Amino acid sequence: MTILVTGGLGFIGSHTVVELIKNNYEVVIADNLANSKLEVLERLYQITGVRPIFYQIDVTDEALVEEIFRKHKFAGLIHFAGLKAVGESVEKPLDYYYNNIVSTMVLSKMCLRYQVDKFVFSSSATVYGEQPSPLREDMELKPRTNPYGETKAISERILIDTARANENFAVSLLRYFNPIGAHESGLIGEDPNGIPNNLMPFVTKVAKGLLVKLSVFGHDYDTVDGTGVRDYIHVVDLARGHVRAIEGLDTGVSIYNLGTGKGTSVLELVNAFIRVNGVDVPYEFVGRRSGDVATCFADVSKVERELGWKAELTIEDMVRDAWGFEQGGE
C-alpha cells in the first residue's frame, strides 16, 4: 500500500515516514523544503534501509500535484506540509491562508479525482483557543486570533464538508499538542530554520552553547510553579498515532487529540532536561509571550477508546532524545 506524505522531510513527517515503512507501507514524499532539509531523505534511508520516492514540489501547485497522483496509486495521504509558526502567521497572514488552505483544497480535489479515499490531516490543539483543559474533541472550536490556528480550523471544515459530500472520502483530523523529542538514533529530529520559536529546540541549543540562555515567558501564571503548562508528546508516539489513524480510517470523519493527557510546566521540562542529560540550561524569567495560555493539555480518552492508541514514552525519553539529536545522533 502506498501512502503520500506531504511535508514528509519535516519534523513530524519524517518520524511518521519511519513508522509507515516499519509497518510495510510504501511511501512517496512531497516536500518543498521550506522548513526541512534534503539530507533528511538520506537519514531516512540510514534508519529504515528504504529511500522513499521524493518530489520537491509545492503542494499548492495543482498541476504538479496531479502529476504525482497520475504516477502513483495511493491508498491514502497524510498532509503535514504547512506553515506553522504562530507568531509569523500574524506578520504574514496571506502566506499562511494561501499555503495552508490551498494545499488542503488541491490535495482533497486530487483525492476525489483519483479515488484516494483516506485523508489524514495534521491539525493542532491551537484550534481550541483559550478554553479550560483538558480539551475534548467535541468542544467548540475557538481558534486563537492567530491566522495559523484559523488555517487549521478552516482546513478541518473543508475536509469535514468534503467527506460529508463524498461517502467514499474518509478523513481523520489529528489535533497535536506539543510534539518534542527525536528518533532514538538521533539522525532525525526537530531542526527549525533560524532561531527556534518553540521551547524544546531552544533549550537544546542553549544546552549546546549555540544560544546564550533561555527566556522563560512568564512566571506568574496560575500553575504549579507559575510557568506555562503544556501537553508534551514524544514525536515517535505521535508518528505511531498516525499509522494507527490511517489503519483505523474507514468512512466519514474522525477527530482525535494526540497528546499524553498530562500537563508539564516549562520549569518541570527544563529541570527534567538538566537532570536526565547532566547539562546546564541557563534561564531567566521574562514577561509573558502574547497569545500564550497558562495551561493546555488533552483529554485523550477518545483516541484510546476508538483506535486503541495511547502515548507510551515519558518526559525523560523526550528530553533524552531531543538532546541526542542536538548532539548529532549516533
Nearer of residues 10 and 52 to ligand WQD, judged by Cβ? 10
In the complex, which residues of this chain contact ligand WQD (CB under 6 A)?
84, 86, 124, 126, 176, 178, 197-199, 202, 214-217, 228, 230, 266, 289, 292
* Contact between 55 and 61 (Cβ < 8 Å): no
Closest approach, Cβ 101 to ligand WQD, in A, equals 15
CA distance 164 to 105: 15
Of these residues, 55, 96, 128, 148, which one is catalytic?
A: 148
Closest contact distance (angstroms) between CB of 212 and ligand WQD is 12
Nearer to ligand WQD, 86 or 207 (CB): 86
* SS3 assignment, position 181: coil
Residue with the closest Cβ to ligand WQD? 228
**CB 238, min distance to ligand WQD, A:** 11
- What cell does 150 get? 484559523
| Catalytic annotation present for 148 | yes
CB of 75 to ligand WQD, least distance (A): 26
C-beta of 92 vs 289, nearer to ligand WQD: 289
Provide the grid cell at 203: 533549550
Cβ proximity to ligand WQD, 72 vs 289, nearer residue:
289
* Residue placing its CB nearer to ligand WQD in the complex, 228 or 241: 228
- Would you say 170 and 119 are in contact if contact means Cβ atoms under 8 Å apart? yes
Q: DSSP E strands: which ranges in the chain?
A: 2-6, 26-30, 53-55, 76-79, 118-124, 170-176, 178-180, 214-217, 229-230, 232-234, 253-258, 264-265, 283-286, 295-296
Beta pairing class for 26-30 and 295-296: unpaired
Q: Minimum Å distance from CB 114 to ligand WQD?
A: 28
β-strand pairing of 170-176 with 253-258: parallel
Catalogue the active-site residues: 148
